[in-house]
Structure 1
Amino acid sequence: MRPRLFASTALLSALLLSGAGAWAQPLGLPSLNSQADSTQGDVLSAEQAFILLPPALSAIKTEDKPEEKQLTLHWQIAPGYYLYRDQIRISDAQGQSLKAEIPQGKTLTDAFFGTVQVFHQQLAVQVALPTRAEQWPLQLQWQGCAEIGVCYPAQQASVTTQQLRLNLDTEPENAAPASAPPQSAAHWLALPPSVLLGPIALPTMALIVFIALFASQWWARRLQLRSGQPVESALLQATIAGLLGARLTYVAQWWPEYGSESTADHLSGLLRMFDIRDGGWNLWAGVLAALFWTLWRSRQQAALRRGSLQALAVGTLILIAGYAMRTWPATQNMPLPRTPFVNAAAQTVDLSSYKGQPLVINLWASWCPPCKREMPVMAQAQKEHPGVRFVWINQGEDAAKVMRYLQTMPLPASQVLLDPQQLASQHWQQRGLPSTYFYDASGQLQGMRMGELSRASLAEHLRGIAPASTKTRDSGPRIQP
């Protein structure tokens, strides 16, 4: 009997881990400098071919001064395109050229400018930082061509002190860094959203479920050896009853999201009821279902009832404690990243500018299958909820790959952001894709989901940040990976 129970428990654990994890892909992304196929069916626009990433400040030491600030400008160049070294011009607001360190490029005989130096893939330029307010904003100019013989007009942009968060008038030279606020006990008890086990990224809550299942089964085995009652079998049945109750209750609560008008879509919605990759579970309904099954199963056997309830209590306490630590308020106090990003329309975007409206931020990559599956769901939700702003931040891929993918999945170019250095993943300490974050209109994080979203699970999260934008019924707490 024991080998059969062990095999059933192992199979159930694998099912829960795969479902709760929603097949989240580990964030082992291809290198930014990886070679891509330069053969393109359509010629990119200048904004797509040459992307100026958000400027950044850095500090250097010189002989004259112990420390001096400088500006770093970074261009991302699509495969099959190049920038001219001699056409890069950087000046202040008064038209004076600034001292810039431009690396040597590759020598090329060009049909437009003769023998020139050009840059492929990327270019980083260091610029001496102006110290007088009247020298700002800085003026930038660059020009490039495609290898197939198309040359673009010069592009221009400006860099302001606001972009760099630089205050030339009030910033003291030797200002002491602000002390970090003291961290409460809740901060140390809060669990991270995900953990990395070798090449596998799993939501923390999925591991909590796994631990609760095996801890309760281990305790049931001890009680069974002591009492001679089939506690293991009763606990396994209660666990299955709890899982069915948690899932069926969740489906009932969000039934409008699983049904549709056409027969084909209705059948698809019915099949989605069994797709547990969306993480749709009602925690309290599952606990009650497991409890009622245990009481009914052992209604005529007091010894079996005591042992089953003890084993069930072990797993339930671990599950509830893990759920509380994962959803602790301290984990929700994560502000929006301060780093500005560049969108697919070659515009600089600061996420803090979206305060005042509910915000959904999705981290994705074109190589991630769950990201591709959930993107149509999110794109449709953006159309249905115009009061909520959806933002898709690509992780670690160059602009050319993103643009090619957007040809197959139409999204608003202003809402697709590029993050080749994965700064967003670092900010949220996330290790898997897809990951989605839900902020209310005041800029407070109200929920997150690592793994694939369905229409139901997305609608549940949207209700948490914009109740007026959803028409689904209220649902109780659920296990949220």
Structure 2
Amino acid sequence: MRRLLSLLILLFALPAAAGLFDSRPSASLGGINNSADFLPVREAFHLSLVESTPEQITLRFVAAEGYYLYRHRFQFKTGDAEVALGEARIPAGQQKTDDYFGEVEVYYGVLDIELPVQNPKRRPFTLQVGYQGCADKGLCYPPETESFSIAGDGAAPDNAATSDNNDRSLSWRAMALFFLAGLGLTFTPCVLPMLPILSGVVLRGQTGGMRSFLLSLAYVLPMATGFAVLGALMGVFGAELNLQARLQSPWVLVPFALFFVLFALAMFGLFELRLPQVLSSRLDRLAGNAKGGSFLGAAVLGTVSSLLVS
């Protein structure tokens, strides 16, 4: 009876967690290819510098049809403490009941924003503009920041918004912080399953000594390289392929939910997952003939592990 009750709870909880009973509009609107209709954030919301003087900067947002910007998400900052910005002059927007923020003021189409500037010494500075918007079909973009380089006389040398070069450029400090963050993750409980993998599969009983350390590196470094390459590809092509919208589609969420239900049934003992006898016997023979502690084997295992986890 307890197993049956647990299964019923699982069957109702997983679809709810997958958003099947959510009243918010779906990112795909029920179509398998509709997720491709969402534009990258820089195409959905185009920001440009219209005019720049020592006393005022005029910015222009152009939202694509079916996309809107939030008034309360606008932010304006400078990279120089001696340059002060006044209160932005933003025209009245349109009231909207939003699925994410409730009653908000939003902007469709073209929006011009006038930003007073106090720069007595006529110093060049960087203007950072933060904004966030959504699509009427249900996709909400994460907060975005663009930067302008403003000359001392108020002109903008590049005459266009840079792609956050100052914020996104790699530095030794950023690399060190990423390294420390990854090092901290190695002390979390989710890493504990790696210990029997290293000792049983990679080292094969050859614990201790410099060879064991090198074998561990042969396993970890290819896995870390695989994650780095996959992460870089996601960063480069993620916006262009609209992966955020695609992964929010029920065509992705429902199969994954069904897989979780299937594997949960196996864990409850309803059935047992095992390889066919032909495959399992061959793998056993290969494992028995393989020499423990192979550098090539550890490297291949690390690479394959990164692909499987991703």
Identify the TM-score tier after normalising by the shorter chain: 0.3 to 0.5
TM-score, with length taken from structure 2? 0.36
TM-score, with length taken from structure 1? 0.24
Decide which structure has greater helix share.
Answer: 2
